[in-house]
């Protein structure tokens, strides 16, 4: 690290998480099959804001904002186009 940048480092590095799949190969294939089955039946589980009774004001919103940045003071607007996100 350049000596000019070294003064900006005030913390110890964060350990990198393990990149291994937490599922066994058998469990992974069960998950894949279940997910494919849900997709084939156009089944949307509750809790993701995709069902009509989960919408604010009874209306599907085509954009959503998420907080980003070091202190999460900035907003990033994500397009939730109906044609892409909803079956």
Give residue 64's pLDDT band: very low, low, confident or very high (50, 70, 90): confident
Domain total in the chain: 1
**Domain annotation covers residue 22:** no
Residue 80 lies in a domain: yes
Which residue matches tokens 């940048």? Answer: 5
Within a domain: 85: yes
pLDDT digits (tens, 9 = 90+) for 23-54: 999 999 999 999 899 888 888 889 888 888 99
| pTM of full prediction above 0.85 | no
Residue 81 lies inside a defined structural domain of this protein: yes
Q: Kindly provide the b/e burial profile for residues 2-33, where b requires at least 16 CB atoms within 10 angstroms of the residue's own CB.
A: eeeeeeeeeeeeeeeeeeeeeeeeeeeeeeee
What DSSP character marks residue 67?
A: E
Is 18 part of a structural domain of the chain?
Answer: no
| Statement: residue 6 has pLDDT above 80 | no
Query: Does a structural domain hold residue 77?
Result: yes
CA dist 87 and 83 (Å) reads: 7
The Cα–Cα gap between 82 and 61 comes to 9
């Amino acid at each position: 690290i350049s000596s000019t940048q070294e003064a900006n480092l005030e913390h110890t590095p964060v350990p990198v998480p393990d990149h291994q799949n937490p599922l066994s190969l058998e469990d992974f294939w069960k998950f894949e099959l279940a997910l494919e089955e849900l997709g084939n039946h156009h089944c949307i589980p509750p809790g993701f804001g995709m069902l009509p009774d989960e919408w604010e004001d009874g209306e599907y919103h085509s954009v959503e904002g998420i907080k980003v940045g070091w202190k999460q003071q900035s907003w990033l607007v994500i397009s939730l186009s109906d044609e892409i996100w909803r079956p």
